[in-house]
Structure 1
Amino acid sequence: MDYEIFDLGDVTLQSGVTLPSAFLAYKTYGRLNEKKDNVIVYPTAFGDHHVQNEWLIGNGMALDPQKYFIIVPNLLGNGLSSSPSNTPAPFDRANFPQVTIYDNVKFQHRLVTEKFGIQKIALVAGWSMGGIQSFQWGASYPDMVERIAPFAGVAKTWPQTHVVLEGMRAPLMAAVRFDSSKLNELTSEDMRAVGRVYAGWGVSEAFYREELYREMGFDSLADFIVGVWENSFMQMDPHNVLAMLWTGQHSDISANPDYNGDFDKALRSIKAHACVMPGSTDLFCPADDNEYEAKLMPNAVFNPIESIWGHFAGRGINNADNQFIDDNLKRLLALRIDG
């Protein structure tokens, strides 16, 4: 096991349901300094584990473990933290309770403060649903978080993103003929269709037109769909996926007692210096939505990743996109924060 477990105990979720013996899986990189002010939190995205974040961590990079103490908490529902696949009855599989981004960040805050005694965070960064978590950190703990860097992630699930996630949920519902009482019959084989649905959203039209999948070692479109989309989704537990889809569809940094649904107020409350980096051709989390959000944030720079890799411009695959993100993170971390 290359990660650690932080026991949360019995937690009451935003839904009012108590999840017993909950836990966060996390991994750290580097060392916490004496002042405890070299902290970066880097949450995982939908379906990802901490290892999928490691492309952005390395000596000489912005997220340098020789300089920073980097904490990568795993999303609830991802199979490592409390999830449908690892929770005993009565909350196993399709019976797992609904978990929000607000819940995730609240528990991450407990990890950071209770386990490590940290009071200031230099940066919260993340891709996709990791990006939503970085926005939530900024909104929930504005005096603690000095910088945020969401890439290909929005501060709430706008209608387009909601529809894409619904399209991913539909094949699983169709597999049980939309009878939710039969959801426990789902298997990883049912994830094959989910991968095919997502294939049209993860990258851009231009990516397909220019056959960039050949750069990834695939000789044909059919091979790419099977080799990347089918295979990656079939490795996921369908009940974990349904749990994360619910979390994704209901993401909104203002959907909590702090802001009572006032999204604009939540954005204006983020004091952190922010670099918001959407993919310029992202079909899933469109750049226009991020642009609206960045305009309302007092200290935000809107800096799209000019790339035809779509949503996956933030995924750590294409070298030019990776360099762009790393350069922007270096600039952001170089900013002096007063107070």
Structure 2
Amino acid sequence: MAVADYKSYRIDRLSLQCGDTLPNARLAYKTYGRLNREKDNVVVLPTFYTGSHVRNEGFFGVGRAIDPGRHFIVSINLFGNGISSSPSNTPAPYDRSRFPVITLYDNISAQHQLLTDLFGIEEIALVTGWSMAGCQSFQWGAQYPDRVKSILPFCASAKASVHNIVFLEGVKAALQADQNWNGGDYIEPPVAGLKAFARVYAGWAFSQTFYREQLFRQLGFKNAEQLLQDWEADHLNRDANDLLCKLNTWQLIDISNNPVYEKNLQAALSAIKAKTIIIACDHDMYFTPEDNRIEAKHIAGAELRVYNSLWGHCVAAPGNDANFSDYLDAAIRELLV
């Protein structure tokens, strides 16, 4: 990735919920479009689990609901994704397995600081995103209720469910079982563990019916084994400690786990003032419509829309389902009126 492709906002000492302080923290971001005089055309796009600002480009474009011709888009990389401060790019003594635990609360605090310090932004028209990025949308809404006009989390949740946490324990165990893992201080990348991580992950990313009906052929794979090999190849490009850093952040997702709401999820959800549309996929095995229904009940005026697709969680990945992109854009347009 070209150095000029993004900028970094530096925080001298990032105070974290875990009690640690990360010195010289870097929050990588890229902007698209122009901030208008009123500073009311801001759209924030956090990144998802294996995503980056580059992959977020699949969620907007000329003529789409989020359009750089009309909006000032700020795409912000999650801590731990290998671009913002992460185990793989932070010097000792906070490198690798010694990188501190970072929550979404920490991420959003840093994102808020970036927006206010660099751009003087006091109001955000929309925060939206897929998966962990959608979880950050919920977090923004509860953490800064007076700053966010609308949120649209898709295939996401305000709190990681127990089932979600168990799934993540499975992929984590597969990675750490590699004989080269060495507690995260591996000399060579734990190749076997990364491949195992990818194979387990792929079983949850799509629905059972997706595999039964061989929809992977639409992605160019002749059989499921080819899909698994592709997932392996992709994960071999990722740092194992980075994957587990973000996984830990994911497992800790709970918009109420902070001094303001003291783990009262209903109170945190009720505090969201933003106009809210939640989009779920009926076959998503990460973040289920059932969890979203419970959440939506406690957000004033919130609407849950369930998209029917056998693609499961990966229905939202740019390029997988053009109909979903249209469905998403229609909802975003309602919020950005």
TM-score bin (small chain): over 0.9
Corresponding residue number in structure 2 for 1:279: 281
Give, in angstroms, the shift of residue 55 of structure 1.
0.9
Displacement of 1:287: 1.3
The CA distance in 2 between the partners of 1:116 and 1:107, in whole Å, is: 14
Q: Which moved more, 1:208-217 or 1:94-103?
A: 208-217
Partner of 1:42: 45
**Residues 241-273 of structure 1 deviation map (CA, whole Å, 9 limit, x = unaligned):** 110111011110001111110011000000101
Letter in 2 for 1:204: S
Query: Shift of residue 308 of structure 1?
Result: 1.1
Q: CA RMSD in A?
A: 1.3
Correspondence for 1:214 = 217
Distance (Å, rounded) in 1 between the aligned partners of 2:20 and 2:290: 35
Q: What's the CA shift for 1:299? A: 2.2
Which secondary structure does the structure 2 equivalent of 1:277 belong to? strand
Partner Cα separation in structure 2 for residue 167 and residue 326 of structure 1: 34
In structure 2, distance between residues paired with 1:176 and 1:272:
48
Three-state SS of the structure 2 residue aligned to 1:126 is strand
- Once the 2 structures are TM-superposed, how far is the Cα of residue 173 of structure 1 from its aligned partner? 1.9
Secondary structure of 1:278's partner? strand
* Range 206-215 or range 247-256, more displaced: 206-215
TM-score normalised to the size of structure 2?
A: 0.96
Q: Is the 8 A contact 1:188 1:237 kept in 2?
A: no
User: After superposition, what is the alpha-carbon deviation per residue over 1:160-211, rounded to whole angstroms, capped at 9, x for unaligned?
Assistant: 111111111101221249963x643461513111000001100111111111
SS in 2 for 1:303: strand
- Preserved contact between residue 180 and residue 188 of structure 2 (Cα < 8 Å): no
Q: Is the 8 A contact 1:50 1:74 kept in 2?
A: yes
Q: Retained in 2: the 8 A contact 1:7–1:24? A: yes
Equivalent residue for 2:25, pick from 22, 25, 49: 22
Structure 1 residue aligned with 2:124: 121
Is residue 196 of structure 1 aligned with residue 199 of structure 2?
A: yes
Tell me how many residue pairs correspond in the alignment: 332
CA distance in 2, matches of 1:39, 1:278: 24
The structure-2 alpha-carbon separation of the partners of 1:186 and 1:321, relative to structure 1 and needing over 3 Å to count, comes to farther
Letter paired with 2:60 = I
For residues 109-146 of structure 1, what are the alpha-carbon distances to aligned partners after superposition, in whole Å with 9 as ceiling and x for unaligned?
Answer: 00110010000000000110001100000000101100
Range with greater deviation from structure 2 (18-27 or 323-332): 323-332
Q: Secondary structure at the match of 2:336?
A: helix
- Alignment of 1:92 with 2:103, yes or no, is no
Aligned to 1:315: 317
2:64 is aligned to 61
Q: Which of 240, 248, 251 is 1:249 aligned to?
A: 251
Relative distance call for 1:8 and 1:241 in structure 2 (3 A) is same
Cα distance in 2 for residues equivalent to 1:236 and 1:219: 25
Q: Is the 8 A contact 1:176 1:185 kept in 2?
A: no
Q: Distance in 1 between matches of 2:88 and 2:177?
A: 21
Contact 1:188 1:235 in 2 (8 A): no
Which amino acid is the alignment partner of residue 83 of structure 1?
S
Contact 2:180/2:186 (8 A) holds in 1: no
Inter-partner Cα distance in structure 2 for 1:177 and 1:156: 33
SS of equivalent residue, structure 1 residue 270: coil
Contact (CA 8 Å) 1:176, 1:183: kept in 2 or not?
no
CA-CA distance at 1:152 after TM superposition: 0.4
Q: How does 1:159-308 map to 2 (within 5 A)?
A: 159-176=162-179, 180=183, 183-185=185-187, 187=189, 189=191, 190-227=193-230, 229-308=231-310
Residue in 2 that maps onto 1:147: 150
Identity %: 44
1:258 counterpart letter in structure 2: V
98, 105, 110: which one aligns with 1:107 = 110
Q: How far apart, CA to CA, are the structure 1 residues paired with 2:108 and 2:179?
A: 33
